Structure 1
């Protein structure tokens, strides 16, 4: 039965092939949060393999023309995956619909169309080394590993919804990321998801079954082992996360500023729940402060009056840097540390800004066409020079991540060695009650596991949470809830690999796959010869 089904898929032609590729990509998106139905990938990727099996052109065509049918299948698969996985981006443009509603098709269809080019490249690269049986599956997993790596930095990078997340929906399945990293998991996930395609034939079926069994058992078994041997001791400070759920349109209302600040202050001043210790550190979300603090001493004084002795506030705000003569001021998306005297003691600026959201690429050209960034500041936001840790108190150092900086594991480097926790502040109210906030939270959750650090995540409307270094949620607030989280942070954990090996983990996975791909490809060439 499976063999007949595979044969029909391989022989599909025209719009039916295109439609099936699009539908399989769309189906794969349901493996992502908030659905986490990863079993669909065991359907979508085998069908993708069979579609690429049938993506052939005449033998006399040039190399580009020979790879074009496979690239088109990959593009339509990617287009379906990203349209259904990222449709919620259009919600951000509805906040200021008068100015940005026209751009909704670009966000909902245009960005997926661009991102799908990466998957077109993956299918073409896989087809270049295509062979029979297990060889073609190894080729596809290697190609997706390369492609997802490219997607993490090309054009500033946008590795949102990388395939590897589908294989890590719960903490027990997140632990492998400390061994192979997200980039390695991307390749291995595609390998396992694609293996059922071997059921359509007899070649390499037993070998494929053994490969699947080993990888799945190692993935699940290591997760259970690591969580079973976890020995967390509460060593960090007591923290409070404030989630006010301020409507996004109110944040642009100058008359609402004082009410917004008062809401933050009231939640910060609430007495701890019965039995909970007094928080030492209070965390507000991204751009929570509705003022330029260095220009508004009254706001700083109100914060200082609210904090009790020894408390420190970490608050997202916009920082303005005074201009030189004849120059415009510079604006930064910042986390401030403010003490109980209302004094700013430390600051960390956002390094990786959102294209079109916080700045305009090719600014001179696009502004001349009347375009602007969604969060409009004079000249746009300015990025930080470098990422650095933040000394919050004498015995607590934070690794600050603002908004979607949490989706770039490679950019975190290995600063976790000098930090005690990740502080991730964000404002996902732009996206409303859609999959976006859930996807964003999952990616931040994985950064805690990879760095071996607890995560404190403050989001304006959720999902706010305290997560331990194994990715387990200690406490959280639901989307659109109003309230606070009081928790004692656990200490960080020792990672199983040295810093040197962690730098090589992706190359080791990719190198092993490439050797296997070449071995199978050479085997088939010898048989043909």
Structure 2
């Protein structure tokens, strides 16, 4: 392979990775991206120059895909982009090492190393950042149906395996060719064996439009204006006539300001009036739920054990524990709460340095993200339950509520739906503040794309309530219905989105397999790398 061909392959691989993401979401591009990297390994003499070229072509890609973080923290944007740019050249480096030292089929070694790397960045390092996996890029192809067997990791594995087989097509033996055809045929046929679903209940999403820049400096006056609009939309949703009248009304993530429902005005003592924004909105929403006689699922902060600290010059308030929560508010005032378990790394917690205050503060200062919170992770995957009236009968409905970043985590969503192989949630309702993405529509749609894989993996409906949009309902096969306003996607506009959702389909195999494909690939990658070095050592001795 000539130098210009090496550069072209590396560049086109980066372009294909981009095309596999939203708003294009090409499955063919998701297949070609690793194929071109495998081609570099097979056709080009290895050198560190190749590693550098692949890295340099990846860097602009990730600077673009992560551009939404620019407005939050410029150093963080650069660091995250560099971090994401390392994985493709690392794959090329490791695959070359294994391929030259071990006489093993490329269609097995390539996907093993690729998914092993995805496991490393998606589940291990910094708590996991599983966005933009190859399997997610296949969301609009028939191969995505394999996610209900081995999660997104199996889709990635098969995709890269096919890419390697295409590279070797001229020399590929009959058995691998037959196996390839069988896998493709099985992916097409598999969905036909899934049981039909039943409609369960109607839900109205109150899509807010509060830019993140406003939420960072959400004054009491601005809260009154924004909350008045949301309260009115809630009243309008509850007033809908049958068959559109909702069984549940949903607000997006952290759209109820204040200290949540665990704190009351009494916790602020004589300073209650001065700290009105911390408790007033929870009270007002309780009154609203009572008036409309409809359960409200709301995203809010939860403060536990509020303490007011008074000095000679200042009065401040802080909680002992601080959570990002989804709270189900019943008409009788009762509440149920789920606390976000998988916090966003470097956004809601600081990986590795959080336990060292001085280092934690330095990283925040360096990253320019001092406004980001240190939250407590939730302890358990608690489903929230309410009742829906169906004619003369009453139906109990359990809701799993992944919050924002959690929809990208296969293991977290699985825990919210299943317990020891038994279904604990009838439907998923995800609360998200997509205002973090600013004007980056592609990132918002990609967030929804990540959620689609969770629905396929668990054969579940998911309703997404997103601040600034775009809210949606996702079916168990990954099909999406977006909130629309005047025939266009409901982006940066407040709206009411009413949708019907159903219960999950029969238990998929992925419940039992879980993330095993990812972990086995990581272990397999380590064994391959160690074996390649041992082979070199033994060769040197000889």
TM-score tier by shorter-chain length is 0.7 to 0.9
Deviation digits for residues 397-426 of structure 1 (CA, Å, limit 9, x no counterpart): 221211111101023344411111112100
Give the one of 217, 220, 237 matched to 2:185: 217
Partner-residue secondary structure (3-state), 1:300: helix
1:40 corresponding residue in structure 2: 29
- Answering whether residue 205 of structure 2 is matched by residue 241 of structure 1, we say yes
Which residue is equivalent to 1:408? 409
Q: What does 1:278-317 align with in structure 2 at a 5 Å threshold?
A: 278-293=245-260, 294-295=263-264, 296-307=278-289, 308=291, 310-317=293-300
1:185 aligns with 2:155: yes
**Alpha-carbon deviation of 1:368?**
3.8
TM-superposition CA deviations, 1:242-287 (whole Å, max 9, x none): 1122233232230200111111111111156564342121110011
- The answer (yes or no) to whether the contact 2:458–2:510 under 8 Å persists in 1 is no
Q: Which residue of 1 aligns with 2:438?
A: 432
Unaligned runs of 5+ in 2: 265-277, 310-316, 388-394, 418-422, 531-541
1:462: Cα distance to partner?
A: 1.4
Is the contact between residue 35 and residue 167 of structure 2 (CA under 8 Å) also seen in structure 1?
yes
The verdict on how the C-alpha distance between 1:87 and 1:78 changes in structure 2, with shifts beyond 3 A counting, is same
Alpha-carbon distance in structure 2 between the residues aligned to 1:356 and 1:373: 11
CA contact (8 A) 2:322 2:376 kept: yes
Say whether 1:465 aligns with 2:472.
Answer: yes
**Deviation of 1:159 (Å):** 0.9
Partner deviation per Cα, 1:360-404 (whole Å, 9 max, x = no partner): 342521414634774726x62222233332334582222121111
Q: Cα deviations across residues 426-451 of structure 1 (Å, max 9, x unaligned)?
A: 01122134211111001112112212
Q: Which residue of 2 aligns with 1:266?
A: 232
Give me the whole-angstrom Cα distance separating, in 2, the residues matched to 1:418 and 1:274. 31
Take 1:346 and 1:28, find their aligned partners in 2: how far apart are those partners? 41
Residue pair 1:245, 1:462 contacting (<8 A) in 2 also: yes
Pair 1:489 & 2:501 matched: yes
Q: Structure 1 pair 122/194, CA: closer, same or farther in 2 (3 Å)? A: same
Aligned mates of 1:215, 1:41 — CA distance in 2: 17
Between 413-422 and 492-501, the greater mean CA deviation after superposition:
492-501
Q: RMSD of the TM alignment (CA)?
A: 3.7
Aligned to 1:445: 452
SS of the equivalent of 2:257 reads coil
- The alpha-carbon distance between structure 1 residues 221 and 88, as it changes in their structure 2 partners (threshold 3 A), is farther
Match of 1:276 among 224, 239, 243: 243
1:335-484 map, 5 Å: 335-341=326-332, 343-361=333-351, 362=353, 363-368=357-362, 370-371=365-366, 374=369, 376=371, 380-393=374-387, 395-416=396-417, 417-434=423-440, 435-474=442-481, 476-477=483-484, 478=489, 479-484=491-496
Query: In structure 2, the residue corresponding to 1:357 is in which secondary structure?
Result: coil
Greater RCO (CA < 8 Å, at least 6 residues apart): 2
Deviations 1:88-113 (A, max 9, x none): 332x42xxxxxxxxx42x34432121
**Aligned partner (choices 65, 69, 72) of residue 85 of structure 1:** 65
- Note the 1:312-327 alignment, pairs <5 A: 312-322=295-305
Whole-Å separation in 2 of the counterparts to 1:336 and 1:289: 10
Distance 1:37 1:498 in 2: 24
Specify whether residues 480 and 207 from structure 1 end up closer, same or farther in structure 2 by C-alpha distance, changes over 3 A only. Answer: farther
Output one character per residue of 1:109-163: Cα deviation in whole Å (capped at 9) or x when no partner.
3212112333333223322321699933432222101111111222211011101
Mapped to 2, the partners of 1:514 and 1:248 lie a distance apart of 42
Partner of 1:149: 119
Equivalent residues in 2 for 1:44-83 (5 A)?
A: 44-54=33-43, 56=45, 71-72=51-52, 75-76=55-56, 78-79=58-59, 81-83=61-63
Runs of 5+ unmatched residues, structure 1: 1-9, 58-65, 94-102, 519-528
Structure 2 CA distance, aligned partners of 1:372 and 1:82?
18
2:15 is the alignment partner of 1:26: yes
Q: Please tell me whether the aligned partners of residues 126 and 142 of structure 1 are also in contact (alpha carbons under 8 angstroms).
A: no
CA contact (8 A) 2:457 2:510 kept: no
Q: Does 1:231 align with 2:196?
A: yes
Query: In structure 2, what is the Cα distance between the partners aligned to 1:259 and 1:468?
Result: 35
Cα distance between partner residues in 2 of 1:178 and 1:498? 5
Structure 1 residues 356 and 498: CA distance shift in structure 2, 3 A: closer
Question: Which structure 2 residues correspond to residues 90-169 of structure 1 after superposition, within 5 A?
Answer: 90=70, 92-93=71-72, 103-104=73-74, 106-130=75-99, 135-152=105-122, 153-169=124-140
Say if 1:89 and 1:297 are closer, same or farther in 2 by CA, change over 3 A. Answer: closer
**Cα gap change, 1:368/1:491 in structure 2, threshold over 3 Å: closer, same or farther?**
closer
